[in-house]
């Protein structure tokens, strides 16, 4: 369907970004808590179970207060961040007091609050389960799981030499306290205490108020396993505990959360840690239609933050709703779910035609490092114009108009990168980005900036060899803007258009993840 429409009409199809309204009016209330985790000051020193519990109870006391608040505000599901109970920087042995053996809910139905005696050494699971029950909400927390493994019987397995798996784990409790899901983080990020699970885990759970949710953790969001697989399975609501260190200009927390939600057309419930020394802040409830988010600024008191928002149900198979069954069998295949007569085409024809590919690279291109990747850049020298820059065969096009009264001294550049990012993780990318350079020299393009005064209307386009393209517009002072439209064409062309910006432009980005090239 999508292909035919695109060919016949020769227009670009708009994605759900922009003025598109959810098809249904069913909705639910979600909450995420950005938690200022109380840390263990000496994470390398092993401590007794008793002391580890005493430490975690302090964080659990805060969870308890927030669960009560979230419930008062009507939340049906509450998400806490990654590492929120124990903190970071443990070794395999120093974390041992914090570990509990979490039974597999696919094999054993267990309500820790109601049957605390069934599994020993599970004080944290019991307390979380009772919290979910007491406040009558679904509760998602992240904790450390210990699973014995068959060292002797299967020496060829990837069982660690101490005979135990240790996993960074999400647990989910239903509103009556039942343990309904357990997910082990697949893509670890410098976590000596934890193992990568031997098999990939694609974990979802059902709720009575919004259907199906999928589980991921922090760095997972960038990878095919599990995130791309969940999306391919049509999971449209993802739960995302994280402990993400901000990295401008392309991967600030809220910027990427928003971009992911828009690009994948999903709802993302993102709960981050708050820790200023580690540059961790930025949480949000992101649906493709709206974002409720928090990002602390320099000088703000270092404290937690509860966010509560009503968002539409996106699960296409959800049975718990009204007559509107039309979309019932539809999966999230973004290329097949757009009816020809849906009005997308009219909307599309209003999207400006993308800049002609023939625009010569007018300004000389230069290479500058952005987040450790060698981007090819060209400067935006005029008040308006069209530009093109290529990294190899991957090209980015920009049409722009700087608005008067901005700071015309600020330097901007259009950048392109196609290749594999190799610092602190390895992943293949195709990225188009307009950035404000940190200073007036071109060598400063790609460095971190938070503020900008220049407002700009623009149309940014790239032709990507992946469907995983995440669009974002970040304005001065870490404010997110919803792009006016994002259109995806049959040839992989993605066009993001934006005008009437509220703030100075810091970054406009189309961030393409080339999952299929990661192993090369």
Ligand X SMILES: *[C@@H]1O[C@H](CO)[C@@H](O)[C@H](O)[C@H]1NC(C)=O
| Active site residues per annotation | 82, 185, 218
Member of 9, 151, 278, 438 binding ligand X (CB under 6 A): 278
| Cβ nearer to ligand X, comparing 15 with 495 | 15
**What is the C-alpha to C-alpha distance for residues 320 and 92, in angstroms, rounded to an integer?**
44
Q: Residues binding ligand X: what is the number (CB under 6 A)?
A: 13
> Of 278, 275, 280, 310, whose CA–CA distance to 292 is shortest?
310
Which are the contacts of 195, defined by CB distance < 8 A and separation ≥ 6?
160, 165, 166, 167
Structure tokens at 411: 């330097």
| Cβ nearer to ligand X, comparing 90 with 110 | 90
234 binds ligand X (CB under 6 A): no
**Residue 69: in which H helix or E strand, if any?**
helix 49-72
265 binds ligand X (CB under 6 A): yes
314 binds ligand X (CB under 6 A): yes
221 binds ligand X (CB under 6 A): no
Member of 9, 22, 386, 419 binding ligand X (CB under 6 A): 22
38 binds ligand X (CB under 6 A): no
273 binds ligand X (CB under 6 A): no
16 binds ligand X (CB under 6 A): yes
**Residues 320-349, mask of contacts with ligand X (x by CB under 6 A):** --------------x--xx-----------
**Is the CB of residue 307 less than 8 Å from the CB of residue 293?**
yes
Least gap, CB of 104 to ligand X (angstroms): 29
Residue 509 is classified by DSSP as E
| Cβ nearer to ligand X, comparing 22 with 419 | 22
**Is the CB of residue 253 less than 8 Å from the CB of residue 246?**
yes
Report the interhelical angle of 123-135 vs 49-72 (nearest 10°). Answer: 10
**What is the C-alpha to C-alpha distance for residues 262 and 265, in angstroms, rounded to an integer?**
5
Least gap, CB of 435 to ligand X (angstroms): 27
Member of 63, 80, 88, 194 binding ligand X (CB under 6 A): 88
Backbone dihedral region of 381: left (phi > 0), alpha (psi from -120 to 50 degrees) or beta? alpha
**Residue 495: in which H helix or E strand, if any?**
strand 493-498
23 binds ligand X (CB under 6 A): yes
| Cβ nearer to ligand X, comparing 258 with 455 | 258
**What is the C-alpha to C-alpha distance for residues 476 and 482, in angstroms, rounded to an integer?**
14
Of the candidate spans 15-23, 104-112, 195-203, 428-436, the one that interacts with ligand X by CB under 6 A turns out to be 15-23
Q: Tally Cβ neighbours within 10 Å of residue 357.
A: 11
| Cβ nearer to ligand X, comparing 112 with 211 | 211
Q: State the residues that interact with ligand X by CB under 6 A.
A: 15-16, 22-23, 88-89, 265, 278, 288, 314, 334, 337-338
């Amino acid at each position: 369907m999508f292909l035919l429409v695109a060919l016949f009409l020769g227009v670009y199809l708009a994605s759900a970004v922009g003025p598109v309204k959810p098809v249904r009016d069913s909705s639910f209330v979600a909450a995420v808590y950005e938690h200022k985790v109380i840390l263990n000051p000496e994470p390398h020193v092993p401590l007794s179970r008793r002391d580890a519990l005493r430490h975690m109870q302090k964080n659990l006391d805060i969870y308890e207060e927030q669960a009560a608040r979230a419930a008062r505000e009507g939340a049906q599901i509450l998400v806490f961040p990654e590492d929120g109970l124990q903190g970071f920087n443990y070794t395999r042995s120093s974390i041992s007091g914090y570990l509990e053996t979490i039974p597999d809910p696919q094999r054993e139905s267990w309500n820790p609050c109601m049957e605390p005696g069934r599994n020993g050494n599970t004080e944290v699971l019991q307390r979380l389960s009772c919290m979910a029950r007491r406040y009558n909400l679904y509760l998602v927390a992240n904790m450390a799981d210990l699973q014995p493994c068959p060292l002797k019987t299967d020496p060829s397995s990837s069982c660690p030499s101490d005979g135990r798996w240790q996993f960074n784990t999400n647990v989910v409790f239903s509103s009556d306290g039942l343990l309904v899901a357990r997910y082990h983080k697949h893509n670890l990020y410098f976590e000596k205490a934890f193992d990568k699970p031997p098999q990939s885990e694609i974990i979802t759970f059902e709720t009575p108020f919004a259907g199906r949710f999928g589980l991921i953790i922090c760095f997972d969001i960038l990878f095919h396993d599990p995130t791309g697989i969940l999306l391919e399975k049509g999971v449209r609501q993802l739960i995302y505990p994280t402990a993400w260190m901000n990295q401008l200009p392309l991967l600030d927390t809220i910027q990427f959360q928003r971009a992911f939600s828009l690009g994948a057309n999903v709802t993302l419930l993102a709960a981050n840690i708050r820790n200023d020394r580690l540059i961790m802040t930025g949480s949000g409830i992101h649906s493709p239609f709206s974002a409720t988010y928090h990002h602390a600024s320099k000088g703000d008191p270092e404290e937690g933050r509860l966010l509560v928002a009503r968002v539409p149900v996106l699960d296409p198979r959800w049975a718990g709703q009204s007559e509107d069954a039309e979309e019932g069998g539809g999966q999230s295949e973004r290329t097949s779910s757009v009816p020809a007569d849906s009005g997308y085409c009219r909307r599309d024809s209003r999207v400006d035609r993308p800049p002609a590919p023939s625009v010569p690279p007018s300004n000389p291109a230069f290479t500058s490092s952005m987040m450790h990747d060698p981007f090819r850049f060209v400067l935006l020298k005029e008040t308006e114009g069209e530009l093109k820059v290529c990294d190899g065969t991957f090209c980015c096009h920009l049409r722009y108009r700087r608005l008067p009264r901005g700071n015309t001294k600020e330097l901007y550049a259009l950048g392109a990168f196609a290749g594999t990012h190799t610092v602190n993780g390895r992943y293949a990318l195709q990225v188009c980005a307009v950035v404000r350079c940190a200073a007036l020299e071109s060598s400063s393009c790609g460095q971190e900036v938070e503020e900008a005064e220049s407002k700009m209307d623009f149309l940014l386009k790239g032709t990507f060899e992946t469907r995983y393209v995440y669009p974002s517009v970040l304005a001065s002072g870490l404010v997110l803007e919803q792009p006016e439209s994002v259109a995806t064409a049959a040839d992989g062309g993605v066009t993001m258009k934006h005008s009437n910006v509220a703030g100075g432009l810091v970054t406009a980005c189309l961030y393409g993840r080339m999952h299929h090239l990661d192993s090369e």
